[in-house]
């Protein structure tokens, strides 16, 4: 089994408070995994840490992408190495058009200008899959966008960048049923032997549209339990309280 992302005994602190408390996770190449957990469990902290946000201090552990530690890499270098993060709350950039933004993103990732003809071809194909109108590209990045438009824009970026390892933080929040289906189809279209995805979510609903390999429950700063799709279905039906009770029972019986 060849791993795309490997997290080893990760401990992360923010302003002196430990949020991630010994998390270990393995995602093989070509697989789609989901992390589910309640608010405040540290899911977004994990995603920002993987991408190298300076406010998140790693006190112990390691993060490996395709077998190589990324801890010494700044965020831009991690992106060029193949990491991608779809933000839960994408930032607006007034004055910068979608077209100029995306061309610059591809230039920075690929290390060279993308010929206009090639860029337009790639963009047209990606926009078609996500059912994005051409007028979208003349607008300023996320400026005045609805929640659904912002999330489609995140998937559009991912479709063009084609990262090795994509982390989608609450990509399903605020979406209606049609937008959710389109976003899920965009995610599925990027599945491949040399690409892995990690979906971070509260709810099962987007997982219903995905060919999911593994579900992990993240509570109290670490992975408490892992399993198949049935685990997500149980969370949807029963909530999260039973998870810690189950773990405590196992510890007491050990």
Averaged pLDDT, 124-144? 90
HSE (side-chain half, CA atoms, 13 Å) at 120: 4
Task: Please check the confidence at residue 223 and state whether its pLDDT lies above 90.
Answer: yes
Task: Please check the confidence at residue 59 and state whether its pLDDT lies above 80.
Answer: yes
Phi, psi of 76 (to 5 degrees): -65, -35
Percent of the chain with pLDDT over 70: 96
Reported as a single tens digit per residue, the pLDDT across 176-207 is 888 888 889 889 888 888 899 999 998 888 88
Residue 22 in tokens: 């010994």
Q: How distant, in Å, are the alpha carbons of 86, 99, 125, 175 from that of 104?
A: 17, 9, 18, 28
Three-state SS for 237? Answer: helix
CATH superfamily of 3-90+165-253: P-loop containing nucleotide triphosphate hydrolases (3.40.50.300)
Confidence of residue 131 (pLDDT cuts 50, 70, 90): confident
Q: What is the pTM of this model?
A: 0.91
Looking at residue 240, what is its pLDDT? 86
Q: What is the mean pLDDT of the chain?
A: 90
Query: Per-residue DSSP letters for 150-217?
Result: HHHHHHHHHHHH--SEEEEESTTTT--HHHHHHHHHHHHHT-BTTBEEEEEES-SGGGGGS---EEEE
Residue 115 CB coordination number (10 Å): 9
């Amino acid at each position: 089994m060849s791993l795309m992302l490997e997290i080893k005994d990760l401990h992360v602190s923010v302003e002196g408070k430990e949020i991630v408390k010994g998390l270990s996770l393995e995602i093989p190449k070509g697989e789609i995994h989901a992390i589910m957990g309640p608010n405040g469990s540290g899911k977004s902290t994990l995603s920002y840490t993987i991408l190298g946000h300076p406010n998140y201090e790693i006190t112990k552990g390691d993060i490996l992408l395709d077998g190589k530690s990324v801890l010494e890499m700044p965020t831009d270098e991690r992106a060029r190495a193949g990491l991608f993060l779809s933000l839960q709350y994408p930032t607006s950039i007034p004055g910068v058009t979608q077209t100029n933004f995306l061309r610059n993103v591809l230039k920075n990732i690929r290390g060279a200008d993308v010929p206009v003809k090639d860029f337009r071809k790639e963009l047209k194909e990606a926009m078609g899959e996500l059912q994005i109108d051409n007028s979208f590209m003349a607008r300023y990045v996320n400026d005045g966008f609805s929640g659904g438009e912002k999330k489609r824009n995140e998937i559009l970026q991912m479709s063009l960048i084609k990262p090795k390892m994509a982390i989608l933080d609450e990509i399903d929040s605020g979406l209606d049923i049609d937008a959710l289906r389109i976003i899920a189809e965009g995610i599925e279209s990027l599945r491949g032997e040399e690409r892995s995805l990690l979906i971070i979510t509260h709810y099962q609903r987007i997982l219903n549209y995905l060919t999911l390999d593994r579900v992990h429950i993240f509570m109290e700063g670490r992975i408490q339990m892992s399993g198949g799709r049935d685990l997500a279905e149980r969370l949807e039906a029963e909530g999260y309280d039973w998870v810690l009770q189950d773990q405590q029972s196992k510890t007491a019986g050990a």
